[in-house]
Amino acid sequence: MKRILITGGAGFLGSHLSKRLLEEGNEILCVDNFYTGSRKNIYELLDHKNFELLRHDITHPLFVEVDQIYNLACPASPIHYQFDPVQTTKTSVVGAINMLGLAKRLKIPILQASTSEVYGDPQIHPQPETYWGNVNTIGPRACYDEGKRCAETLFFDYYRQHNLEIKVIRIFNTYGPNMNPQDGRVVSNFIVQALKGEDITIYGDGNQTRSFCYASDLIDGMVRMMNSPKEFTGPVNIGNPNEFTMLELANLILEITESKSKIVFQELPQDDPLQRQPVIDLAQNKLNWKPNIELEAGLIETIKYFKNII
């Protein structure tokens, strides 16, 4: 049994990770300030004897005793991270410094949930970990993109300077139960609009692509990374390499929901990436990981969840 700290533990991915690690027999310290996380996501875990919830903002130091740290805390959807961009950057940068300091003091491994957004609007497709990215440093998405890039820098500087055991994963588009229906992400947007019979809003011409990974697959990759050999630091892409256009995604959701919603097109937001697809060779070779849930099967489960909460 390990005592494991999960920052952002009441969020979409944090709640799935908390459940997975509890099922493996660990003690979980879930830390969240509930800016985007929700008690509903962890409601079924609150009475578990090995689960503890602490309301805390990681931009402030935290003094606890744990064996591992998963650093997931940060708003991850544009509608949330652009609402307070300064706080978003602080969460990524100051939060990383605080969690790295804790890991250094305790001499324990720490995993950073980074993002495919470090690649920006990529000029290389698909994206390998060796690609340095194409990010607008002063654009409206920079608070998230550059915050996560700086966090990666800090992780590797702590690794080189203090010999800290670090793990860095770059998460590509992920979906599944516990998504916030108001988070502005494409999967949740399309599902909510379809279930309500509203117009399906596609930004741009619908030919821009994303690669969608189901939450359980993503969490499996995350746990494998944390428990990989010490010398493997990453960064490593964790995502599903199957690429879909926004039109394909919208039509599939319309088909599954049997919705009569119509597809409408609006202007593409500034700096919104046109392509996103991970190269996962490193994850396959080093972690023996690859996603198993196909998009249609994952959407069916996600739609069931949204039907229950709308």
Residue 152, domain member (yes or no): yes
**Per residue in 83-126, pLDDT tens?**
999 999 999 999 999 999 999 999 999 999 999 999 999 999 99
Residue 127, domain member (yes or no): yes
Count of other CB atoms within 10 angstroms of residue 194: 23
Question: Which of 171, 169, 167, 191 is closest to 179 using CA atoms?
Answer: 191
Print the domain residue range for 115.
3-175+215-241+277-292
pTM, entire model: 0.95
Which CATH number belongs to the domain containing residue 130 in this structure? 3.40.50.720
Which among 70, 144, 158, 214 is annotated as catalytic? 144
Residue 123, domain member (yes or no): yes
- Which residue type does 55 have? R
Question: Average per-residue pLDDT in the chain?
Answer: 96
Q: How confident is the model at residue 250 (pLDDT cuts 50, 70, 90)?
A: very high
**The token pair that represents 228 in the structure block:** 């990989």
pLDDT at 76: 84
Per DSSP bridges, beta strands 263-266 and 166-171 are unpaired
Summarize the confidence of residues 191-214 as an average pLDDT: 95
pLDDT at 145: 96
Answer yes or no: are the C-beta atoms of 73 and 32 closer than 8 Å. yes
Summarize the confidence of residues 213-225 as an average pLDDT: 98
CA–CA separation, 101 and 9 (whole Å): 19
- Quote the DSSP letter at residue 264: E
Q: Is pLDDT at 21 greater than 90 in this prediction?
A: yes
Q: Is pLDDT at 235 greater than 90 in this prediction?
A: yes
The residues near 202 (Cβ < 8 Å, ≥ 6 apart) are: 246, 247, 250, 263, 264, 265, 266
CA–CA separation, 184 and 182 (whole Å): 6
Residue 199, domain member (yes or no): no
Residue 198, domain member (yes or no): no
Residue 258, domain member (yes or no): no
Please tell me the total count of domains within the chain. 1
70 catalytic, yes or no?
Answer: no
pLDDT at 183: 87
pLDDT at 184: 85
**Per residue in 109-118, pLDDT tens?**
999 999 999 9
Q: Which residue has the higher pLDDT, 276 or 287?
A: 287
Residue 23, domain member (yes or no): yes
Q: Is pLDDT at 128 greater than 90 in this prediction?
A: yes
Residue 297, domain member (yes or no): no
Q: Is pLDDT at 16 greater than 80 in this prediction?
A: yes
Q: What are the respective helix, strand and coil percentages of the chain, to the nearest 5? A: 40, 20, 40
**Per residue in 58-69, pLDDT tens?**
999 999 999 999
Q: How confident is the model at residue 36 (pLDDT cuts 50, 70, 90)?
A: very high
Q: Is pLDDT at 80 greater than 80 in this prediction?
A: yes
